[in-house]
Amino acid sequence: MKSLPATCPACQHKLAVEQLACPECATKVAGQFDLPVLLQLNAEQQDFLLRFVKSSGSLKEMAKQLNYSYPKVRNMLDELIATLKTLENETD
Amino acid sequence: MKLTNWLFHPFDRLAGFKALVLGLVFLALSVALVTWFKARYDGVLNLHFFETVSWSAVALDQILNALCLLVFLGGSNYLLSNRKPRLINLSGTLILAMAPMTLLPLQNANGALSDLSATVAQDPTAALNVLQLISPAQLIFSTIFSLALLAYHVYLLFKAYQICGDFKGPKLGLSFALALLLAFTASLFTQHQLLPL
């Protein structure tokens, strides 16, 4: 399956969802829905977040998994937090 | 991981206790090489050659240098970073960042630089005719070699400072430059007070 784009390829503006469809019965729901903040992260950030939750928030464990040093992983987390704050502010 | 990544971003993979152990190994190696090639560190960013040196003085120089870097770069990072860095990461990365200085005394492999220092120490006017005392090729090599290692040393110190803290904007560069200047001044001052060259 293709990955979900979060920004417009033409103007880089944040994309919104206009239609959702059930793959089982083909029911369609149309409207104007904002993408959840977590889906607006890029693939790398989403992967980092998933690993973070799966490792119970242990940065030491994350560092082992990713083969990075502890401060590098800590900096990646800080960048992710900053991105999430920016996205939340944009949504508000 | 590519060799260039290891050379230019070593602390992405190496920090904490492992970096500290490796840094201490380089520190011990630097004491051996500096003693063998008859030199003394003069502050955290300088090296001079002599006729004779004792290994204990060289070891104390390096301990003082490491402490000055830890106190000023580590202290600045602790006080100014948006989050508090871990001491083990700071000490590990900063001490490992001193590794390039280990190679600095190798330029005296043929003993020419310590002979030059001895001659100039006896007769300071001999410095005016330096090209009669040392070959131009060695002078050029020595200059480029020293500058390259010093630049790499400062670069690694900066990377260590950067990765251990969380800085935004110009605060990173400014606080690093000021802390390094203070570390250099303090290391010179304490060394000249405790262990004159």
CA–CA dist B54, B77 (Å, integer): 34
**Nearest-neighbour CA in chain A from B53: distance (Å):** 38
pLDDT of residue B24: 97
Residues of B within 8 A of A70 (CB-CB) are: 15-16, 86, 89
Taking all residues of chain A, what is their mean pLDDT, rounded to a whole number? 91
In the three-class reduction of DSSP (H, G, I as helix; E, B as strand; rest coil), residue B47 is classed as strand
Q: Which residues of A touch B19 (CB under 8 A)?
A: 69
When scoring B22, B161, B163 by the number of chain A Cβ atoms within 10 A, the one with the most, hence best to mutate, is: B163
The CATH topology of domain A36-91 is Arc Repressor Mutant, subunit A (1.10.10)
The Cα–Cα gap between B7 and A5 comes to 36
Residue of B nearest to A63 (CA): B13
Q: What is the pLDDT of residues B144-192, one digit of tens each?
A: 999 999 999 999 999 999 999 988 889 999 999 999 999 999 999 998 8
* pLDDT tens sequence across A41-82: 988 999 999 999 999 999 999 999 999 999 999 999 999 999
Listed residue (B98, B107, B91) closest to B33, CA to CA: B107
Characterize B120-131 residue by residue with b for buried, 16 or more Cβ atoms within 10 angstroms of its Cβ, and e for exposed: eeeeeeeeeeee
Q: Give the residue ranges of chain B where pLDDT is below 50.
A: none
Instruction: Tell me what pLDDT residue A47 has.
Output: 93
Nearest to B160 by CA among B56, B105, B90: B90
Classify the C-alpha dihedral B124-B126-B42-B110 as positive or negative: negative
